[in-house]
Amino acid sequence: MAKDGSVKSYILRRLLHALPLLLCVVVFNFTLIHMAPGDPIQSLIGEFPAPEAYVEAMRSAFGLDKPLYVQLWLYITNILKGDLGFSFYYRQPVLAVIVERVPATLQLMIPAVLFSALAGLLLGIFSARKPYSLSDNAISSFALLGYCLPIFWLGQMLMLIFSIKLGWLPSQGIKTLGAELEGFKAFADRLSHLFLPALALSIRHVAINVRIMRSSMLEVSYEDYITLARSKGLDEKTIVARHMLPNALLPVVTIIGLDIGFLFTGSVLVETVFGWPGIGRLMYESILKRDYPVLMGTFLITTVLVVLTNLIVDLIYLWLDPRVKYGRK
């Protein structure tokens, strides 16, 4: 592990590195407001019948009568103050609307990430132990299928089988509405609602992790130190757990980090299928309501979240692999 000081400066450098990206996103949103057909004010407040006084207030707040560079400056400073605009549909600031939905999305995404990591690793290790055997081929076929199925259709089919046909699990929402549950029962209720959406969301990532883990394990198995471990007479379990796994894990960690963006994509679709009240569902509703400020705000917030998770993943990488030293370059 590198020294604390260098880790700190590394984090700082990475955050600085991300700033231009966030600025690009803000400038992009601004450009979109002006490129969209119709009056920019429509993009700023969404397509609702807003009172005239409100429209005028927005016009002056964003300086729509001033030159473009002044408008851009106003737009950026507003966002830096944490003001992502106002959702006229929800009658709340956009930031508040989004922040309210974040916990639900995390409740769906975190279990999905953990499950896909764990299942992917185990299946990948199992698959790599006897390459091209029956079990390996079965797992590889499953992985290919999981990678190709459209995630929202998979969600619909899971719902069809387990909720509609078998009646085992609830099909919509995050908990049973109107039921006053406490303690363990409330937890079990939440869990039963979580199961299908989390499964639908994670299958694709299980598939990706299996493929990476399998090839990574196979690659490591040809290394000299594994031959050495074998010739020392270590048993297979120790070789896999102590010598192969730590080295094979690294590419998987990278892929899980890169996948975070796709996970957000998946959660929009899965939340729409299962009526899960998170960011994804919010996006779907905002599309239907033409609530543009919320759409732009969500894009900005998810970009920030993706940048932060990538940073966290890199730190895990640093912790896992002491060889990696984050130098100046």
Partner 1 sequence: MRFYQFWLRFRKNRAAEISFYCILVFVSLALLAPWLSPYDPFALGQRPFLPPQSGHLMGTDDLGRDTLSRVLYGTRVSLMVGVLAAATSLIIGTAVGSVSGYSGGFVDELLMRATEYVLVIPRFFLALLIVAMMGTGITKIVLVIGFLDWPEIARVVRAQFLTFKEREFVLAARAMGLKNWEIIFTEILPNAIPPAIVVGSFLVARAILLEAGLSFLGLGDPELISWGMLLSDAQERIWFSMWLAIFPGLAMSLLVLSINLFGDGINDVLNPRLKEK
* 156 part of the interface to partner 1, by CB under 8 A: yes
Least distance (Å) from partner 1 to the CB of residue 256? 15
Select from 124, 298, 313, 314 the one that contacts partner 1 (CB under 8 A). 298
| Contacts to partner 1 from residues 62-81, by CB under 8 A | none
* 82 part of the interface to partner 1, by CB under 8 A: no
Least distance (Å) from partner 1 to the CB of residue 156? 5
Helix H segments across the chain? 4-35, 40-45, 52-61, 68-80, 94-129, 134-148, 151-158, 183-221, 224-231, 236-238, 245-274, 279-289, 292-320
DSSP letter at 161?
I
Q: State the Cα angle at 140 between 127 and 310, rounded to 5°.
A: 85
Tell me how far apart the alpha carbons of residues 27 and 19 are, in angstroms, rounded to a whole number.
Answer: 12
Select from 145, 188, 191, 228 the one that contacts partner 1 (CB under 8 A). 145
Least distance (Å) from partner 1 to the CB of residue 108? 16
DSSP letter at 87?
E
Tell me how far apart the alpha carbons of residues 200 and 84 are, in angstroms, rounded to a whole number.
Answer: 32
* 221 part of the interface to partner 1, by CB under 8 A: no
* 25 part of the interface to partner 1, by CB under 8 A: yes
DSSP letter at 86?
E
Give phi and psi for 93, each to the nearest 5: -60, 145
Contact 116, 205 (CB under 8 A): yes
* 90 part of the interface to partner 1, by CB under 8 A: no
* 288 part of the interface to partner 1, by CB under 8 A: yes
Stretch that binds partner 1, among 85-93, 102-110, 181-189, 254-262 (CB under 8 A): 254-262
Interface with partner 1 (CB under 8 A): 20-21, 24-25, 28-29, 32, 35-37, 43, 131-132, 144-145, 147-153, 156-157, 159-160, 164, 215, 218, 258, 261-262, 264-265, 268-269, 272-273, 283-284, 287-288, 290, 292, 295-296, 298-299, 302-303, 306-307, 310
